[in-house]
Chains A and B, each alone.
Chain A
Amino acid sequence: MNFKHTFLLVVLLVTQIIWSQSTRNGVITSENGTPIPGASVTIENTARGVQTDFDGQFSIEASNGDVLVIRYLGFTEEKVTVNANQTTYNIILQEDVNQLNEVVVVGYGTQRKEVLTSSVAQIRGDELVEESVLNATQALQGKAAGVQVIASDAPGQASRVVIRGLGTVQGGRDPLYVIDGVLTDNINNINIADIESINILKDAASLAIYGNRGANGVIIVTTKKGKTGKLQVKFNTYTGVRDILRTVDMANAEQFVIYSNEAALRDLLNDNDPTNDNDFSNFLPTNQQYDTNWLDEITRIGLIRDYYLSLSGGDEKINAFFSVGFNEEEGILLNNDFNRLTVRSNVDYKITEKLNFSHKVGVQLATGSPQSFGLFTSAYKQAPIIPARLDDGTFGSSIAINNVANPLIDATNAFKREKNKFFKVQGAFQLDYEVFDDLTFTSRFSIETEYGRFYNFRNRLGRFLADNPSNTESSFEGGIENPSKTRLTITHTNTYRWFIDNYFTYKKTFFDKHNIDVTLGITAEENQSEFLSATRNNVPLDSNLNFNLNNGDQNDTQSNSGAISVTDRLYSYLARLNYNYDGKYLLGGSFRRDGSSRFQDGSQFGNFYALSTGWVVTEEDFFSDTAFDILKLRASFGQLGNQNVPFNIITATTGSGGFYAFGPNQELQQGITITGTVQEDLSWEVTEETNIGLEYTLLDYRLSGEIEVYKRVNTNAILEIELPDVIGFDPFNSAVGEVENKGIEFSLNWSDKIGEDFSYSIGGNFSFNENKISKVTNPFFNEQLGGFINNGEYTKKITVGQSLGSFFLYEVEGIDESGDFVYRDNNNNGIVDEGDRKFFDSYLPKYYTSLNLSMNYKNFDFSTDLFGSFGNQIYNGKKAQRFGNENIELSTFNNRYTSGQPSNTTPRAFNDVPISSDYYLESGDFIRVNNVTLGYTLPEKTLKYFTKMRIYASARNPLIWQRFSGFTPELPGDPLGGAGIELDAYPTLSSFYIGLNTSF
């Protein structure tokens, strides 16, 4: 066929189509008559379609007999057949009350919730905004069953998220975050107000498409798009104050002196030297000049301000969304501030009927001035008899009685200055091409890069002099020549990653009832990070000079270091097939083959898959006349990977591990050796997960919920192996363990209207998870110790049969007649030794639950959330760490054993470092009111320039019921590190806000 013929054919065809068509107009409205802009009007079985304009109007060329299909999210689909003599079609869309009709975002695509066979929790952006927290991860707390969030209230700090229990010891534990297609580690840079939805993938069926990174769960964040119609401007702001929710009462100066002197007397009597028993020279005098409340000294009322402006609009060709947000926080700890600016631009271009291009770009600029949370420990421990400052303004020093630094020195930044700056850009650029009606090709390139800059200036001489009044400048650094009086260190870090994703999506219905949905694709990505750090001494003190390296000494005391990580790459093939018969019988399968540069040749490629099935019982005829609107049963099984495991190469030991000095001038000669061995074929951890779920909606869609049961087993958990010493190798990692998580999740929601003015909803969820190391296959498994509390004591240990993060402690039986602890002799050998330690529960909660309630009455809205966490233990590390002459809690003072007042709960005053025992282990159970918000929307008729205005007042964490005696039961950290141990921990805060939401 030559060109001429083709041309003729096309002309003929086109003419023929035009011949029979004429223009049809109409308005699409909702039930209450409001026009619906942006609704799609298409002609069935063709690619032709238009969108309604801002007034809900459309106009389309259609022939007799064509069927117009009108769709708009949140409304049921309408079909209207065009007939010859009707040109105007006013169509009313019914609101879709069927919640299960919502679309769920899954990996590399979307799926209708109705036919979903996997476990995905969806949270709408507007549910999160209510929480008035900076970081979206914290707002997730209590929002979904199976998603445990350990919140942190520290400025700029992210909360820790654990999905369906901890499955790994040595590997990465955080879920994978996917922001508009960018696979990343956190969502700290995302403004909550920019979030359209968060979808949390929990079971193998939904996670297998993320293969080697699916094992810890995936959190998909989708940001907002521009809405077709008139430009909408939103401006939101809130401001609030924050304070410590719960403090611990400490002994005052008088009580401290009594306690310390009792302890000193006990030491004298116990040292078997009768000559000093009446030597009271080291006792503290009873009438003290000062009574310092150290926590008050280093804290203040925190302040938060938040501003947010967004623009959204679009027409048939372009939809755009732009936002800018600014958040500023003065933390409760002095000089601990954080502020963040976010800018986002999301634009969709409809290039042709078949070709769409979109970009979603977010930028974050954050600045923080960090403080060590160790100051909270210092404030807890410092003696009240020490003045925060003397009358002449100098800092009080406790050098004469204990080794605790005056926390006010660091809190006031008197001899230091620190600043962190972060700049992060994240962007996805996506082309969607509709190859045919049913087949779409998507090509996406996305990047993320983050620059961090860390400035750290120390006035070392100033600090040396302040720490001890007897220090002099000549004794600084042992009196060496040209000491480093000040020191500036600047570190620059950069991480970047890029992705190329190409995939096809094919959705088609065959013979009316056979629906298939296929995704097939290839992705590639690269990650790398680097840092550069430089230090100079004797930078001038002036604040305008002390962040400039060039102002420091140029001699050989300057130092620098830097490194670049190994290129980390993945090349993957992915596939997913979903089939359903008439929306009744559902089948799903997904697969990913990952090639990872992290592993050695031969162990680079891994296959991950999942199979799932579902049965929508309510689609069956025999079940149609019940109270159930929807009842769906589903099950899935699959294998997931965790490639975020320690690198597996034998690195040669060099540098200080190998060098040695030779020659009269002791010139260093380099050395090199091998001090380790590896398991050569070590690769990713493989988690097998089985999930059974039940979804139900009943009583006219008013009651809905889900029940899920799961078991996930990390079948080759990587653990540390320690060979006998005679082999001479360092401990190394080997895949010899099995970690098991079993759990049940329930969620339940009820929403209803009473009359025209009052609507309400009440919902809750409950999660139970049991975690343990179920198997270890190698006799040289190293039962690693952890939870060190910086006084020589450890508190945790890993072993088979116990939950990860279990405490391993001595057991206090009681208090003896001399007021000392009696430890239980668990191994019955007559003495207290290591063998007497026993396992207690883990810091991981077994149950967590939430309850939320929201009500709307006329223009008022009210919402509240409760969150509870139970079944874990917390180690009171700050109390257990006590060295001599450090302050004690008021209850310790009041309840202590004295000869006049024997106690069986609290020992007598003592100065020894206590061994780690269950005396310091407390229940972690708590229930907290996370949020109470009351809002009022001004009646529309009173507004002149605005289309909406709402004012609200909100309280965050106003109340807590906790069994733990410390500052916070929420203690994030590593399982073998500080998790569940209150030491150097940031307290939980309660916050009170007022805010304003407007749009115009």
Chain B
Amino acid sequence: MKYSESKTVWIMLLLAISVNLLQSCSKDFIDVESNQETESALTSDRAPELVNAVYNSLLAWEVSSFAWTGLTSIASDDADKGSILSDTGVDKHLLDALDISPTLLSVADVWRGHFDAIQRANQALNRIEQFDDMDEELQSRLLGEAKFLRALFYFRLVQTYGGVPVITSINSLDDINEDLLTRATTEETYAFIEQDLIEAIESLPEKSEYPTSELGRATKGAAKALLAKVSMYQEKWEQVKILTNEIIASGEYGLTPNYEDIWKESSENNIESIFEIQSRGEDPAAGVDKYSTIQGARGEGGWGWGFNTPSQDLDNAYENGDTRRQATIMFAGETLYDGRVISINAPNPRYNQKAYSSALTEAEITGKNVRLLRYAEVLLMNAEAAAVIGGDVSTPLNQIRQRAGLEPTTATSQLAVWEERRLEMAFEHDRYFDLVRQGRASTVLNSKGIPFQTGKHELFPIPQEQIDLSGGVLTQNPGY
């Protein structure tokens, strides 16, 4: 009896110890802290960083590099695919020939890249709006910057695809429904862009009102210039005129005396710059992904892949004495301003000088700032508005011509502005959409053997994979 009594005591004791151990330790023991920053790190003091991450999207391959160059430039009459025959750049030969289908990688890349960027803008906007403990002026400015960027991304989408789903919220797996995936009309998309820009204009400071350390952020002038361009695409000429006049009158901007200098490292963010992608080449690099490499000279002595080469047609379009020809085109055999020699044996006769970065390294990310909005374009929009609804065309137009080393012109037609615009803005991701906007894409392109079909090629197709993934809620553009 004693034996089993002590046995019971033992068991009870051991059980008591074990149960105690079980109860107290287990939960505490496995509750460990994460050692990486998670969503909870997004507090109001990180508000500027949330917006910086939206700017960071501008550096992405899909947003600014190969696919965007392909759609805006290679597809147009300004550029050829370039490079060597066997290197198609996946689908750039098809873009060059305007042989476009919904399965092209470039079409899918631009779509994805811009919606990723919009998601970041939505993260910044939705979160910063909720912060109730931050400096109101800063909060307003940051919201303005994010709205400017969101408008820029949507504008590029509506230029490329027409109306797209307009998404302003942060969504999870459970939020996905038909409404969210349905395309807005082109008009609705433009209305949304305009609203973002109007709000941005209200809350953004002028370029000169920013501290120097913040150079490169979206400004009131930038929002106005973008709104002017958005208005131009909708032929709201009154609005174009008012906005461009305001920018001209602001005194914030002017023209760079020498056209070629605009794309040099030394001219980054200069007087002519309204908005440009800030690219840092030094380690740690924060530049536009391979922008210069893709368009760099190929082959012997080259440093790039040789894509997006200026066409013979563009070369022929410059008048004698137009300094923009040498500034836009690097010719095989040419010695550049920094002493770099383009081999005479390069596989292509011409390369895009506006993408050239003088940094003599093999780095794929260079410090090349990509100029998105500059004062010259404001003048051209101002001139074009005047040409349509009346006003002074010559003053702004001849400012442009004079800087290019050309005699003033007396022409004041919209066509004259268009012709000037092509030469001034070549390789600035404008030409293809500009021709479509002007309504003469088929005339101009067909005459140069590019098979533009009216009613189809005004827009690029919605990526097929995305239509499939939406279960057919996303609809395809006509003709594809």
Residues of A within 8 A of B (CB): 271, 435-436, 441, 477-480, 502, 504, 522, 524, 564-571, 573, 595-597, 601, 604, 649-654, 656-664, 666-675, 677, 679, 721-729, 734, 779-780, 833-834, 912
Contact = CB atoms under 8 A, between A and B. Distances in A.
B42 A668 contact: no
A658 B56 contact: yes
B115 A569 contact: no
Given A670-B52, A672-B50, A727-B115, 14 more contacts: A478-B360, A504-B14, A567-B32, A652-B36, A662-B217, A662-B278, A671-B51, A673-B50, A674-B170, A675-B116, A675-B120, A723-B176, A726-B466, A728-B167
B30 interface: yes
Interface in B17-38: 18, 21-22, 25-27, 29-38
Nearest to A271: B85
A677 B42 contact: no
Given A524-B25, A664-B269, A677-B173, A728 B30 contact: no
Given A663-B213, A674-B39, A569 B30 contact: yes
Contacts of A663: 212-216
Contacts of B41: 652, 672
B236 interface: no
Contacts of A729: 119
B148 interface: no
Contacts of A658: 49, 52-53, 56
Contacts of B269: 664
Contacts of A779: 471
B85 A595 contact: no
B323 interface: no
B32 to A, nearest CB: 4
Interface string B181-196: 1000000000000000
A343 to B, nearest CB: 33
Nearest to B216: A662
B361 A727 contact: no
A723 B176 CA distance: 9
B471 A673 contact: no
Given A654-B37, A673-B123, A723-B176, A435 B212 contact: no
A479 B213 CA distance: 32
B14 A668 contact: no
A422 to B, nearest CB: 25
Contacts of B42: 652, 672, 674
5 contacts: A595-B29, A601-B31, A726-B165, A726-B180, A726-B466
A666 B120 contact: no
B320 interface: no
Contact of B34 (A524, A566, A667, A728): A566
B112 interface: yes
A581 to B, nearest CB: 25
A659 B217 contact: no
B103 interface: yes
Contacts of A649: 34, 36, 38
A950 B36 CA distance: 58
Given A669-B52, A673-B54, A780-B469, A478 B362 contact: yes
Contacts of B469: 722, 724-725, 780
Contacts of A912: 86
Contacts of A571: 25-26, 29-30
Given A524-B25, A650-B38, A666-B367, A596 B55 contact: no
Interface stretch (B254-262, B279-287, B344-352, B403-411): B279-287
Query: Which of B85, B171, B173 is the most central at the interface, judged by chain A CB atoms within 10 Å of its CB?
Result: B173
B241 to A, nearest CB: 32
B361 A675 contact: no
Contact of A480 (B111, B117, B212, B361): B361
Contacts of A669: 48-49, 52
A652 B38 contact: yes
Contacts, number: 201
Contacts of A569: 29-30, 32
B118 interface: yes
Contacts of A595: 26-27, 29-30
Contacts of A504: 14
B172 interface: yes
B124 interface: yes
Given A672-B42, A721-B173, A478 B49 contact: no
B46 interface: yes
A725 B279 CA distance: 26
Contacts of B38: 649-652
A564 B21 contact: no
A653 B49 CA distance: 11
B337 interface: no
Contacts of B55: 660, 671
A597 B31 contact: yes
B326 interface: no
Contact of B123 (A597, A657, A674): A674
Nearest to B215: A663
B428 to A, nearest CB: 21
Interface in B358-408: 360-362, 367
B477 interface: no
B18 A522 contact: yes
10 nearest A-B residue pairs (beta carbon): A728-B119, A671-B52, A671-B53, A673-B53, A661-B280, A658-B53, A660-B55, A597-B30, A672-B49, A571-B26
A520 to B, nearest CB: 8
Given A663-B214, A668-B286, A724 B470 contact: yes
A572 B164 CA distance: 52
Contacts of B181: 724, 726
Nearest to B165: A726
B456 interface: no
B473 to A, nearest CB: 9
Contacts of A568: 32
Nearest to B124: A673
Contacts of B216: 660-663
A906 to B, nearest CB: 23
A690 to B, nearest CB: 31
Contacts of B32: 566-569, 597
Contacts of A675: 116, 119-120
Nearest to A651: B36
Contacts of A478: 303, 360-362
Contacts of A660: 52-53, 55-56, 59, 216, 278, 286
A60 B51 CA distance: 85
Contacts of B167: 726-728
A441 B13 CA distance: 13
A565 B33 CA distance: 11
B48 to A, nearest CB: 7
Which of A436, A567, A727 has the most C-beta atoms of chain B within 10 angstroms of its own C-beta?
A727
Contacts of A653: 53
